[in-house]
Structure 1
Amino acid sequence: MNISQYTKEFRYNLKLAYPVILGMLGHTLIGIVDNIMVGKLGSTELAAVSLGNSLIFVAMSIGIGFSTALTPIIGEADAEKDNNKIRSAFHHGMLLCTILGFALFGMVVLAKPIMEMLHQPKEVIELAKPYLDWVAFSLVPLIIYQGYKQFADGLSMTKYSMYAIVGANIIHVIINYLLIYGIWIFPKMGIIGAALGTVISRIAMVVFMHFILAKQERLKQYFKGFSFDEIKKATIVKIVNLGMPSAMQMLFEVVLFTAAIWLCGNIGKTSQAANQIALSLASMTFMFAMGLSVVSMIRISNQKGLQDYKNLVVVARSIFLLAIIIEVVFAVLFVVFHQILPPLFMDMKDQVQLVDNTEVVTIAAKLLLVAAIFQISDGIQVVVLGALRGLQDVKIPMYITFVAYWIIGFPISYYLGEYTDFKAVGVWLGLLAGLTAAALFLYIRFHYLTKSLILKDSLKISPNDTTK
């Protein structure tokens, strides 16, 4: 293997990836800002935000996963220079994302009784319910924003979503600060203030994305003359057939992490709060791999449109290698700073809650050691999944992720968390097992598909639909 053929792709991969990474870090930063500001109020408030967001993350995974169907369709059409196909995918995608956003909002509001069924601490549930109502509404602008983002990403225009997130974070921090603590003329609203900050900042993201994209000369043709007469059943079916399995893939992983929140809640509120701290930090580093996953979708769909399958493999492996290098660096940092990072999330000067807060920090430090290892597997599985989406292969990966997370990962998390002294650390060891299994099986699937495509191409046989 000639390593230079992969490393020479690093520059272009990073050029495409860094705006996506910064944008996704911005998404994560919104949650981290909530956690830090709310954490200063106390461990109960932090656990309530964690519990409320656990339901939001489930719904969000469906919306974001579904919207990713637009990127490979548009990326392939862009390589083919088919403007009509791009326009059609964009309009159908935006319509479906809008409908889905409202549906998810309703679903989360109706799902609130689940918190009692899961035997979460009563004081945590009481705080989480009103918080959840507001944050659930923010799913509507978030999923609409995703439609714009995936459209732009498919055209390799990855910077605009980054600008939208930066602006949203500025708005979010200001509103949070004013409303959580009751600064100046504003009322002290606690975690409801954090929820309102999320809603307003996400509405701002949508408004910004619409106007910034509509003003681009290259894109004006796609924003003119929308009509419901253009909506075709065949195109809706194609997007849904790609979007729903992609949504399920993301759902299986997010629900696994959500189950970890609930399992830690069963252990105790300090374990639940510690889980939220470690998850916030691990999610932040995971965004680098998520950014590369989007690049994987874009570049692989382009190569698929060009039918250059040998170069497709080189491009994909270069992205896989880059993700591994980045995640190993973060793994080392987690090990080095595992005792330094958790205290940043808690008020260690609060004598009333000092015992609880100290326990939260101790547990979170142990979880970060497990996170150091599992984020390498997590990084690999997500970039390979991006490559498979670029090939528009979504059904088999959906089954793979289900088996990895729910046949392998969750039983381990449940057993170690509930029936051993590992407690919260055992829950995270189950996450590690599931993510590692997903990374291995997804790569085997990618290798099989690309080998078949190259073989067919060498025999001068037109490749059939590889998703069957």
Structure 2
Amino acid sequence: MSTESTDTTRATDTTRSEKAGAGWWIGHSRALLKLSLPLILTNFAYVALTTVDIVMLGRLGALEIAASGLAIALFNQLRTTGTGLVTGVSNLVAEARVRDDKARIGALLFAGFFWATVCGVVFCAVLLLIGPLLVLLGQDPKVVDKAGEFLMVLAPGMLPCLWFQNLRHFTTGLKRPGPLLAITLASVAVTIGLNYVLIYGKFGLPAFGFVGVAMATVTVFLLSFLAFFAVILRDSVLRPYLISLHAWRWNGDAVRSVWRLGLPISGTYASEAGFFSVLTLVIGSLGVEALAAQTVLNQIVYIVFMVSAGLSHAASIHISEADGGNDYRTARRMGILATAWGVIATLVVAAVYLVVPNQIVSLFISAEHADNADIIALTVTGLLIAALMQVFDAIQNIGNGILRGIGDTAGPFRISLVGYWLIGLPAGYLLGITADWGVEGVWTGQTIGLATTAAILLGAFLRRVDRLHRETSGAPLPEPESS
């Protein structure tokens, strides 16, 4: 949507006055990558938090990896859904900032906290009560019991986690995001230290084992929120909004506005995350080793996913600017370029997967444990499939962003229902369970679902941008090469 352009300063090197011909992509690529890089670095810092947890857990054993992996997958599913609901706060705050409506900004801050708290409480209860359902869905009771121990500690962390996300989108809407990268990097260092102390028992504390990872994660969520809150209180521009009466007073219109804008975004996020979570449950029915391998593979792919997430956000912002000026030639170019750079980045990583898969997996799973041999073998096989899968994952992620940039927030949700749930999930079940291909079959079905979603999203973007161009100019868009 065009209001997303308020998240960043306008790039000056992607104007309509660019030279035509093959050189058009240079200036656009420079602008795209310039904005993408800080977003990617922040994403990497954030994903490092869960990566540290998985690496530490990989030193403990198959049951611990499987149980914590199941717990983390469920937590992330709900966290992603809640984050989507407050994502629209940034756009709404930006609109109010342009109108200099300070009361509205304070009300939106409250509305974001309201929905973050509602989601946090509801999702915490779901995580604490979901154990029996997991057993009915075919999960190993031993794994579910262990996961329950982990979630008992981790679930309350949903509240500070979502509060932090609300503050992040609130400050972004005011173009003062603050030291997010610095806070996240500090959180990584604290996570490493706390994991070591709480897992193994240092400085006089007892050894909590794998539950220590959950304790460390919740502590870091809380400290990160408090640190960000403190930064805002010291900022002369942001502080008045936080301490104003409007920030702590019910405003039905603001609450409804955040709900209306955030719901389709939340639905898209939930659909994608739910697709991976359900496939994780399918894999969990295949045994502890399979679930442990899935945990590690998901984390490896998630790291690479951060590149396309940065490209997606950056492209969305540039396309929103172009949309606001009815410059649909630039909008299409940015969409195509972002997709191309996402494919290039994932192909480079795929080459590494193919050359040194064992070395990559060994970073996450210790070969010192004899019972880890099967997990390592499964994960190596999965990594080879992931070399192709992550290419389609990048395209569909960027496709979501560029469609939002052109003003379509509901389309990605509908497309996700088709690609993930009507094609990907049945394919994964049929190949993995019915055809007895095991974990490899589920991963192959997952790849089919992502490829289908990517193709539909990209096609929807091109059709929509061409239709908008015809509505404003009366002529179809020329091909980029001949423009």
Same fold (TM over 0.5): yes
Shift of 1:125: 1.8
Change (3 A) 1:232 1:393: farther
Which of 168, 171, 174 aligns to 2:187? It is 168
Shift of 1:164: 2.0
Which of 218, 226, 239 aligns to 2:258? It is 239
Change (3 A) 1:330 1:230: same
3-state SS of paired residue (1:274): helix
Structure 1 runs of 4+ with >6 Å offset:
none
Which of 375, 379, 382 aligns to 2:397? It is 382
> 2:297 & 2:391 partners in 1: Cα distance?
15
3-state SS of paired residue (2:168): helix
The answer to which of 374-383 and 318-327 deviates more is 318-327
1:53 corresponds in structure 2 to 72
Which of 94, 117, 129 aligns to 1:110? It is 129
2:270 corresponds in structure 1 to 251
1:444 corresponds in structure 2 to 459
Check if 1:35 corresponds to 2:50.
no
Change (3 A) 1:276 1:83: same
1:225 corresponds in structure 2 to 244
Q: Residues 89-142 of structure 1, C-alpha deviation per residue, up to 9 Å, x if partnerless? A: 444333322332222222222323222112222222221112112211111111
Which of 432, 450, 456 aligns to 1:435? It is 450
Change (3 A) 1:384 1:76: farther
Shift of 1:179: 0.5
2:473 corresponds in structure 1 to 458
Shift of 1:198: 0.4
Aligned 8 A contact 1:20 1:162 in 2: no
1:413 corresponds in structure 2 to 428
Change (3 A) 1:230 1:349: closer
Aligned 8 A contact 1:303 1:311 in 2: yes
Amino acid of the residue matched to residue 390 of structure 1?
Answer: G
3-state SS of paired residue (2:363): helix
Pairs within 5 Å for 1:184-195 = 184-195=203-214
Shift of 1:403: 0.8
3-state SS of paired residue (1:227): helix
Aligned 8 A contact 2:109 2:247 in 1: no
> 1:185 & 1:126 partners in 2: Cα distance?
28
3-state SS of paired residue (1:357): helix
**Structure 2 gap segments, 5+ residues each:** 1-19, 476-483
Which of 302, 307, 315 aligns to 1:283? It is 302
Amino acid of the residue matched to residue 192 of structure 2?
Answer: V
The answer to which of 209-218 and 197-206 deviates more is 209-218
2:441 corresponds in structure 1 to 426
Which of 376, 394, 401 aligns to 1:361? It is 376
TM-score (norm 2): 0.87
> 1:200 & 1:151 partners in 2: Cα distance?
23
Aligned 8 A contact 1:180 1:192 in 2: yes
Which of 337, 351, 359 aligns to 2:356? It is 337
> 2:457 & 2:146 partners in 1: Cα distance?
40
Change (3 A) 1:374 1:74: farther
**Structure 1 gap segments, 5+ residues each:** 461-468
Shift of 1:6: 3.1
Q: Give aligned pairs, total.
A: 455
Shift of 1:306: 4.9
2:157 corresponds in structure 1 to 138
1:464 corresponds in structure 2 to none
Aligned 8 A contact 2:241 2:247 in 1: no
Change (3 A) 1:125 1:311: same
Amino acid of the residue matched to residue 290 of structure 1?
Answer: A
Change (3 A) 1:364 1:145: same
Change (3 A) 1:89 1:456: farther
> 1:296 & 1:175 partners in 2: Cα distance?
37
Change (3 A) 1:82 1:424: farther
Amino acid of the residue matched to residue 434 of structure 2?
Answer: Y
The answer to which of 397-406 and 442-451 deviates more is 442-451
Pairs within 5 Å for 1:287-366 = 287-306=306-325, 308-350=327-369, 354=370, 356-366=371-381
Shift of 1:377: 1.0
Shift of 1:419: 2.5
The answer to which of 216-225 and 35-44 deviates more is 216-225
Aligned 8 A contact 2:83 2:162 in 1: yes
> 1:320 & 1:168 partners in 2: Cα distance?
31
Change (3 A) 1:131 1:139: same
3-state SS of paired residue (2:179): helix
Change (3 A) 1:159 1:361: farther
Aligned 8 A contact 1:58 1:254 in 2: yes
> 1:191 & 1:284 partners in 2: Cα distance?
22
Shift of 1:244: 1.4
Change (3 A) 1:162 1:205: same
Shift of 1:181: 1.1
Aligned 8 A contact 1:75 1:298 in 2: no
Change (3 A) 1:432 1:76: farther
The answer to which of 106-115 and 161-170 deviates more is 106-115
The answer to which of 265-274 and 4-13 deviates more is 4-13
> 1:131 & 1:218 partners in 2: Cα distance?
40
1:373 corresponds in structure 2 to 388
